Structure 1
Amino acid sequence: MSLSLEGKHALIAGGSGEMGYHAARALAAAGCNITLMARGSEGLTTAATRLINEVDGDVLTVTADLNNRLSIERAVDHAEESLGPIDILVHAVREDVNGYYDQLDVARLQMAAQTLLIGAANLVAAVVPPMQEAGDGRVMFVIGQDAIRGRPLGLGTCALQHGLLGLMRGLAREVAESGVAVNAVVAGLVDTDRLSVEIDQIVAHTRRDRSAVKSDLANGNAQRRLIQPSEIGATLVWLAQDEAKGLCGQAMVIDGGELG
């Protein structure tokens, strides 16, 4: 089975982040033209330059405030004018609100929910209708494993990720008949800078040795290793294929066989 997506246009929200970049890289390698979207331009420029140096295809950057639907609509219009209709939407925006339940920063959680959940709703409202009119499209969310299991220090993040998973499933049911497939990739512990920050937070709260914490995390799944970002990207490429159009509202868990 060929995994070519030659000539398709993929928009990656959260395109300046690590997971957004790796999603874009995998889709570009499969033949997609890429629009990277993020709130600010600094990280986007770095990601776009790196992407252009590593893969073929057109790469466009757009900035948008996900809390502002008009801002999103303008960015989407620019992307479609430049690279054509959007065939694939990847939501790789991530917001973390960590800490014990009795120390939760509620104001921070409210802001994160606005960006992650309301922002996702605004984004799909701008991108999905043309897909429905065309009778085809893929919408994919990259979601953390907190969406399917709880963990200490992660109450706020768990709530956010569960909410995003629910949004995905509701959207999938609403648009499935039109030919638009909506799914999620639930990422386990991925070897990224973000995980390194989380390890630092665990060390700060527990006073444990950093290498021991990382080793324990890696040993927490059946494969006893951290997931690589490229594995998430490869799953997104597969979900974007015509052969995967029967998947609807599914959460594809890539976690090495999490034991907990």
Structure 2
Amino acid sequence: MDVRLDGRVALVTGGSKGIGLAVARSFLEAGARVAILARGQEALDTAAASLAAEGLTELRAYSCDVSKPDAISAIHARVVADLGPVDILVNNAGTSRTLAFETITDEEWQEDFDLKLFAAIRMSRAVWPAMKERGFGRIINVLNTFAKAPRGGSAPTSVSRAAGMALTKVMAGEGAPHGILVNALLVGLIMSDQWVRRHAATAPAMQLEDFAQTLVTDVPLGRIGRAEEFANLACFLASDKGSYITGTAINVDGGRSPVV
């Protein structure tokens, strides 16, 4: 099956590293023009250079803090001016911040919701009118499996991600009559920059591959996932091949989640 995105414009938040970068690469390989957003300019420059070295040049990289409403409006206008109306949006900004409930301050709750929920709301709202007018749109909300199966010590991430899953269902219902398909992909243990950082902080003497293996004792497939595997599914959902899939939340976790 040949999955193509020729002529499509895609915008990926949190696109400079890990899962976001893998998604951007997959979209570029499928023929899309892609905008990636992240806060750090250095990481964006590195990502753009690595993709260009692979011959993937239909890319624009923009520094943007998507937790700020005005920043979203401004960057959306720039992307449209540079590449055209957005056909595919991947809301991938955010970290897996987990704290003990009683220690989480109001400010920490607000920061988490601003980055993970309100950024997705505002970015989706920005691209929605043009998608609706053209009768085509794909929005993919990147969440994690705590959205379905939260546990003690998993807030604030589990709460903001659960809200993101509800948002996905709401937008899917409203978008369907206009050809806008909205789905969520729920991350399990996928090798990404956060695990590289955790390895460096907690077990620098251990090989990264060995460290990763210590994380997967409860993963039926017995290994950590690759960002490319996640990106493959995102690319399918963004394409015409995924034209009858909307309003669903798919685990990408090697079978780890107790909830389907």
1:65-144 equivalence runs, <5 A: 65-144=65-144
**Is the contact made by 2:99 and 2:154 (CA closer than 8 Å) also made in structure 1?**
yes
Residue 227 of structure 1 deviates from its aligned partner by 0.9
**Is the contact made by 1:199 and 1:213 (CA closer than 8 Å) also made in structure 2?**
yes
Higher deviation after alignment, 187-196 or 132-141:
187-196
Residue 36 of structure 1 deviates from its aligned partner by 0.8
Residue 217 of structure 1 deviates from its aligned partner by 2.7
Aligned twin of 1:182: 182
Aligned twin of 1:228: 226
Q: Deviation per CA, 1:27-50, whole angstroms, max 9, x where unpaired?
A: 111111111112342322222112
Residue 225 of structure 1 deviates from its aligned partner by 0.9
Aligned twin of 1:207: none
Higher deviation after alignment, 114-123 or 214-223:
214-223
Residue 202 of structure 1 deviates from its aligned partner by 8.8
Q: Secondary structure at the match of 1:230?
A: helix
In structure 2, do the counterparts of structure 1 residues 26 and 212 end up closer, same or farther at CA, with 3 Å as the change threshold?
A: closer
How many Å separate the matches in 2 of 1:252 and 1:84?
Answer: 29
**Is the contact made by 1:99 and 1:155 (CA closer than 8 Å) also made in structure 2?**
yes
Q: Secondary structure at the match of 1:222?
A: coil
Q: Secondary structure at the match of 1:176?
A: helix
Aligned twin of 1:21: 21
Q: Secondary structure at the match of 2:86?
A: coil
Q: Secondary structure at the match of 1:162?
A: helix
Aligned twin of 2:148: 148
**Is the contact made by 2:117 and 2:160 (CA closer than 8 Å) also made in structure 1?**
yes
- CA root-mean-square deviation: 2.4
How many Å separate the matches in 1 of 2:134 and 2:103?
Answer: 48
In structure 2, do the counterparts of structure 1 residues 200 and 163 end up closer, same or farther at CA, with 3 Å as the change threshold?
A: farther
1:25-40 equivalence runs, <5 A: 25-40=25-40
Higher deviation after alignment, 82-91 or 60-69:
60-69
Aligned twin of 1:245: 243
How many Å separate the matches in 2 of 1:244 and 1:54?
Answer: 27
Residue 21 of structure 1 deviates from its aligned partner by 0.7
Q: Secondary structure at the match of 2:98?
A: coil
Aligned twin of 2:12: 12
Q: Deviation per CA, 1:107-128, whole angstroms, max 9, x where unpaired?
A: 2222121122111111111112
How many Å separate the matches in 1 of 2:217 and 2:101?
Answer: 26
How many Å separate the matches in 2 of 1:196 and 1:117?
Answer: 25
**Is the contact made by 1:67 and 1:122 (CA closer than 8 Å) also made in structure 2?**
no
- TM-score where L is the length of structure 1: 0.88
Aligned twin of 2:47: 47
**Is the contact made by 2:172 and 2:182 (CA closer than 8 Å) also made in structure 1?**
yes
Residue 211 of structure 1 deviates from its aligned partner by 9.3
Q: Secondary structure at the match of 2:107?
A: helix
Aligned twin of 2:253: 255
Consecutive unaligned residues of structure 1, counting only runs of 5 or more, are 204-209
How many Å separate the matches in 1 of 2:201 and 2:170?
Answer: 33
In structure 2, do the counterparts of structure 1 residues 149 and 197 end up closer, same or farther at CA, with 3 Å as the change threshold?
A: farther
In structure 2, do the counterparts of structure 1 residues 213 and 100 end up closer, same or farther at CA, with 3 Å as the change threshold?
A: farther
How many Å separate the matches in 2 of 1:51 and 1:220?
Answer: 34
Aligned twin of 1:206: none
Q: Secondary structure at the match of 1:82?
A: helix
**Is the contact made by 1:222 and 1:259 (CA closer than 8 Å) also made in structure 2?**
no
Give the number of equivalent residue pairs.
254
Partner letter of residue 254 of structure 1?
V
Consecutive unaligned residues of structure 2, counting only runs of 5 or more, are none
Residue 235 of structure 1 deviates from its aligned partner by 0.4
Percent identical pairs in the alignment equals: 27
**Is the contact made by 1:190 and 1:226 (CA closer than 8 Å) also made in structure 2?**
yes
